[in-house]
Amino acid sequence: MLDHLDQLDHATVGEIVARDFRAAAIFQRFGIDFCCGGRQSIADAAAAKGVTLPSLVAELQQLDTPSTSPVEQGSCADLIAHIVSVHHGYLRGALPSIGGYLQKLVAVHGERHPELAPIEQRFTAVREELDAHMYKEEHILFPLIEQMERASEGRAPVPAGPPIEAIVHVMESEHVDAGAGLVDMRALSQGYETPADGCTTYGVCYAALAEFESDLHRHIHLENNILFPRAVALDARVRG
């Protein structure tokens, strides 16, 4: 795969995952953020995690056949529909459930496990941020991108308002905040490791938090590394 990238040391994590979505699993295994941290070069990302660049490259080079997720090949409208139905839909179901689990854990196990209270606090903050974030995407940014795409095809007028890049900048900043919350929760929970005295709810909650983290990484990758750059370029081209 990497034979198709020029100047490997300067290739970004996001660029590599955008070219081959299977690389995401490799970056995750090395603890490298491929969504919010997708703009850093793989050399910098490896150095930050204490990983030797040759070992990282060797793993990535095993992906010798370029592969792109089918959803990434469609139009902006198709990608938006996928994000809303799959990832926003997942969040609307998972966030209340996880919140309920955490409330129960704090009440039952909080005295023996003081880390639970800050995990719940951090999760609540991330949940509130994501609820507001999804609303802004679905009611402001995504309709603007879809109209811009139709305008580029001559099927709609060019939308008024600020450039897409300005709104994208706000969304990316909010992604960084959510990503920081994930990092904090993973550290506080020792990698979502259920303690020896943990009940069934403990294990279910931590498994759900791990799934939430994985889905949000994929979600943010699709926006930061695929949809947003495509939309910004489209906006610049249409507005001339």
DSSP letter at 157 equals P
What tokens does 232 get? Answer: 């910004």
- 227 and 193, same structural domain? yes
Contacts of 151 (CB under 8 A, 6+ apart): 157, 158, 159, 238
Domain boundary among 18, 39, 61: 61
Domain boundary among 61, 84, 111: 61
The pTM (predicted TM-score) of the whole model is 0.77
Tell me the torsion sign for CA atoms 163, 165, 166, 170.
positive
Domain interval for residue 135: 71-239
The DSSP code sequence of 94-161 is HHHHHHHHHHHHHHHHTTT-TTHHHHHHHHHHHHHHHHHHHHHIIIIIHHHHHHHHHHHTTSSPPP-S
- Mean pLDDT over 96-103 rounds to 96
- 16 and 131, same structural domain? no
- 34 and 84, same structural domain? no
Of residues 218 and 39, the one with the higher pLDDT is 218
CA distance 235 to 163: 7
Taking each helix axis from N to C terminus, what angle separates 142-152 and 228-239, rounded to the nearest 10 degrees?
50
- In the chain, pLDDT over 70 holds for what percent of residues? 90
pLDDT of residue 53: 84
CA distance 122 to 134: 18
- 227 and 133, same structural domain? yes
- 98 and 52, same structural domain? no
- 136 and 111, same structural domain? yes
- 132 and 16, same structural domain? no
Of residues 30 and 37, the one with the higher pLDDT is 30
- 23 and 127, same structural domain? no
**Res 7 pLDDT > 70:** no
Q: Are 75 and 227 in contact (CB under 8 A)?
A: no
- 129 and 209, same structural domain? yes
- 82 and 11, same structural domain? no
- 175 and 106, same structural domain? yes
Of residues 165 and 6, the one with the higher pLDDT is 165
Confidence of residue 151 (pLDDT cuts 50, 70, 90): very high
Confidence of residue 132 (pLDDT cuts 50, 70, 90): very high
Q: Is residue 66 part of a domain?
A: no
- 202 and 83, same structural domain? yes
The number of domains in the chain is: 2
